[in-house]
Structure 1
């Protein structure tokens, strides 16, 4: 230990969560509610406008996700800002097939909800303030790790100086470019989609009627998500080579591009909000666990935003881990981590394959595929077992979900 640094924080039973974004904060709350000792290291100051993941995106929260957020006491703090999704329409430009999902048809009040990421972040911060066993270090950064028999010794840099924390379990929730993943020596497979995502808001001429739209084309997917005050969240994917050009468009030209890509089902689009670009790449860790360490959320897998599965998948990571740790004396036990990896595998692999294959199949500029794509969409629209499968997976019920999301299972 360096002179002047603080003595280590005791490892026994302690879980160190590195990363205070949407998934890391949710995990810390769930662990605290389960009676665990938790230390949360957040790179940003504890303010919604300081946390990078609490940004301008409009999140499409699956029904299972909302159940989970409700179970850990976050949803009551966010629901006033959320808009229910009662219908979903999926189609491809220039082709005849489409698939439609209706909440009432599946016996639920909503298939999911739209919520700005910044509003969810604010709700998480309020809920974190109510945690009793949680120790938060923010702003703080992990600068070093040292393995010992009972866990990990982390070197944490804070504005007050260097602190050392011993933890029986180290959790990497620090995003796509995870420092924890790199320090653990876990390799990741990276696929650059050569696409950039622009998020914004628009006002449609016609009422969205709580319908979400996903539309594919050779140029990539575009989505419209229902928001309050008759606004819609726009998610527009463009080729990386045109991203700079799109970013520089004036509002009139940008809305014309969105109109051309989306079509006229909502009438004329107007009043675009600020545009925010995000580079799209797929990053998949080759292992979820190491000795007394685990990856969750984007540190474990970053998926294409098609289908809006990123945070939904990450929250199921967090709630499954919290469920397995609850009541265990040793949160870093090898059997626990192996059980976690095995239990998450079907959901993780299935969701990653779905998003990756969908963007390739639905957006591939191959005319010979057009009839097959249309027939596939019609099958999901008209064949009840396929419709039910599509609905349940869209609502976040895949594999063996954590119990917290099943409390209101349809």
Structure 2
């Protein structure tokens, strides 16, 4: 059956837009279905702070996105983790692992603007916006037909592969009949820009407590990106605190390693919920990013994992006769299995273990923190995961990734 595009991507957020750029780089005809109209940023591109692993920085550089950032990213050269009430701490230094830094911190809004600039330069892609995925239609064996609603009404698009990149509450996943397991961590995450008495020194901090983590990420503008978890039952009361009271609460939770907290910007609140699709592929369809798995933000694994989904898929599609073939989707599942499973286990296990107040767990956690601090092989394993190197890594994530897209950037 005749098709309009080789690939149709549903969702123009972080992962969907990145996938469109990766496919455009290798000349694949792509449709990008975006809910937001031209000139409007998707809600995901807000003031949240994104921690990019080294592998992610490599890939986004090869795609020309890092060069398009207007604001300077913050460098993560050290990672410090500790837990209130437990002995020991973990300090990872990139220099000890032959790296200048583990990754970078980018404000989501800045990242969205850089993606938008690159998307405006698509050569093989068509953007449908504002448009919404309404469901599937009869498409036959050679393609998928999708119903799309836009300002002109409803129409049909056909593609040999449909990619669901439409977030944790994925309509594509529901339309495919793929179930998802959901776990609510009973935490709410307050996100804001934070200024301290001392200028950030390229150290990313994670302070763990019963209510969840409090993280400080070094931004490029001299501030920290704050993520402060509170129990869901306390979230409404915390949201009503004025800036001084909120800063005092965060200072008490975090401690004084970064100095005195001076000011805080506008706050937003997000639930900490884990959503894991029971399958990531269906006939001529695949789920990537949060549509496939949405993680607790502890350890900053979510977007990095989703980007590796997208880049692995793009790598397999490059040069393939049929991007939606059963064999290609099986290869995708096989290649993503180790990275996905290990990252899900790490994130969920860490979130559960570090927020459990049981007294018998404290000596075990303390022993683990002391062991990581003393055993180089354990540090190397953690450092490799922090830099995004788990399982079979997509070629663009490696340091020798081609950067031919960089010359196409207009600043």
Taking structure 1 as the reference length, the TM-score comes to 0.95
Q: Which residue among 286, 294, 301 is the counterpart of 2:286?
A: 294
TM-superposed deviation, 1:229:
3.7
1:172 paired to 2:164:
yes
Residue pairs, 1:198-209, within 5 angstroms: 198-209=190-201
1:22 matched residue in structure 2: 14
Aligned to 1:103: 94
Q: Number of residue pairs matched?
A: 400
Q: Choose from 340, 347, 364 the match for 2:339.
A: 347
Contact residue 20 and residue 32 of structure 2 kept, 8 A: yes
Counterpart of 1:65 (choices 56, 71, 93) is 56
> 1:279 is paired with a residue of what secondary structure?
strand
Does 2:375 correspond to 1:383? yes
Aligned ranges 1:9-408 → 2 under 5 Å: 10-11=2-3, 14-47=6-39, 49-78=40-69, 80-147=71-138, 148-408=140-400
SS of the residue corresponding to residue 351 of structure 1 reads: helix
Give a deviation string over 1:127-154, Cα, whole Å, max 9, x none: 0111101000111101121242112111
| Long gaps (5+) in structure 2 | 402-411
1:226 & 1:257 partners in 2: Cα distance? 20
The 1-side partners of 2:272 and 2:376 are apart by 34
Cα distance in 2 for residues equivalent to 1:398 and 1:186: 26
Distance 1:403 1:296 in 2: 18
Structure 1: stretches of 5+ with no match in the other structure: 1-7
Aligned to 1:4: none
8 Å Cα contact 1:222/1:237 also seen in 2 = yes
C-alpha root-mean-square deviation of aligned residues, in Å? 1.4
Q: d(CA) in 2 for partners of 1:80 and 1:200?
A: 17
Q: CA deviation at 1:66?
A: 0.5
> CA contact under 8 A between 1:208 and 1:232: conserved in structure 2?
yes
Distance 1:331 1:212 in 2: 39
Query: Contact (CA 8 Å) 2:41, 2:112: kept in 1 or not?
Result: no
Structure 2 residue matching 1:51: 3-state secondary structure: coil
Post-superposition offset of 1:408:
4.5
1:79 to partner: Cα distance: 7.1
Q: CA deviation at 1:207?
A: 2.7
Per the TM alignment, residue 160 of structure 1 is displaced from its structure 2 partner at its CA by 2.7
The runs of at least 4 aligned residues of structure 1 exceeding 4 Å deviation read none
Give TM-score scaled by structure 2 length. Answer: 0.95
Determine if contact 1:46/1:125 at 8 Å carries over to the other structure. no
Q: CA deviation at 1:363?
A: 1.5
| Distance across 2 between alignment mates of 1:258 and 1:181 | 37
**d(CA) in 1 for partners of 2:58, 2:29:** 24
Q: C-alpha separation between the residues in 2 aligned to 1:388 and 1:129?
A: 40
